[in-house]
Amino acid sequence: MIAVAITGASGPILGIRLIEELLNSGKPVYAVVSDAAWSVIAHELSYRKAGPAPLAALLSKRGRTSSLKLLKEFDSHDFFSPLASGSSPFEAMAVAPCSMKTLSAAASGYADSLITRACDVALKEKRKLILVPRETPLSAIHLENMLKLSRAGAVILPPVLGFYSRPGTIDDMVDFVTGKILNLLGVKHRLFKSWEEQASATAAKTGKRKAP
Ligand SMILES: Cc1cc2nc3c(=O)[nH]c(=O)nc-3n(C[C@H](O)[C@H](O)[C@H](O)COP(=O)(O)O)c2cc1C
């Protein structure tokens, strides 16, 4: 089971696409969306939180998930969720996007919400923790928090584009970052071609040899 948290940075679509892809590949997902993330979702995706399972309702509306049976969502203040405990069976956790506030809390062990508590659990239990920090430019405080977390075992995966995949749409860009997270989680996907495949395709088109 993979834990996915969406926090209130720009780009909640990154976490949403990640959850869709995990579910579509048969991976059970425990998901948490922060209050601030719901505000950003309303602003960026024109979707208002509604009902007892708001994330499932959003995914259902998007219609890109084959089944929602593998999804469990938790309120971001629910410390009785299994994600709050070291005995929880989650094998890895991704926070996508990760706000600078959640980054800071995770870097200092300030477990004031289910998301920051689950980050704390992931670090103390030596599970994979992938953080997708979204802010620009970055202050020395942001960078120090990232370094601290990286030294504590987290993977810092900023949503930085690889132009070699020749993205043509925002969907392509989102899928590129989502694919990078899935690679780290060891989940197979077809969201983008590897650099090798891309270079071969370009070489075939242009007749030029690939760069070494
Ligand atoms: C539309 C919108 C966009 C935001 N974008 C970012 C962002 O890209 N990065 C960031 O660190 N905070 C951003 N914020 C501020 C966070 O939402 C705020 O710091 C919040 O307290 C984060 O809470 P959370 O980490 O519990 O989700 C944004 C807020 C809004 C309303």
pLDDT digits (tens, 9 = 90+) for 82-135: 999 999 889 999 999 999 999 999 999 999 999 999 999 999 999 999 999 999
Class of domain 2-206: alpha beta
Q: What is the pLDDT of residues 174-204, one digit of tens each?
A: 999 999 999 999 999 989 877 777 777 777 8
Spell 91-129 as b/e; 16+ CB within 10 A means b. ebbbbbbbbbbbbbbbbeeebebbbbbbbbbbbeeebbb
Single pTM value for the model:
0.94
- For 153, residues 6+ apart whose C-beta sits below 8 A from its C-beta are 123, 126, 129
43 lines ligand 1 (CB under 6 A): yes
What residues does each domain of the chain span? 2-206
Q: What is the pLDDT of residue 211?
A: 54
Look up residue 67 and give its DSSP letter.
-
Q: What is the pLDDT of residues 131-156, one digit of tens each?
A: 999 999 999 999 999 999 999 999 99
104 lines ligand 1 (CB under 6 A): no
Mean residue pLDDT of the chain comes to: 94
Q: Separation of 90 CA from ligand 1 center, angstroms?
A: 26
**Ligand 1: which of 7, 32, 40 to mutate, judged by most atoms within 8 Å of the beta carbon?**
40
133 lines ligand 1 (CB under 6 A): no
**Spatial contact of 1 and 11, defined as CB atoms under 8 Å apart:** no
Q: Whose alpha carbon is nearest atom 17 of ligand 1?
A: 8
For residue 103, the ligand 1 atom closest to its alpha carbon is: 25
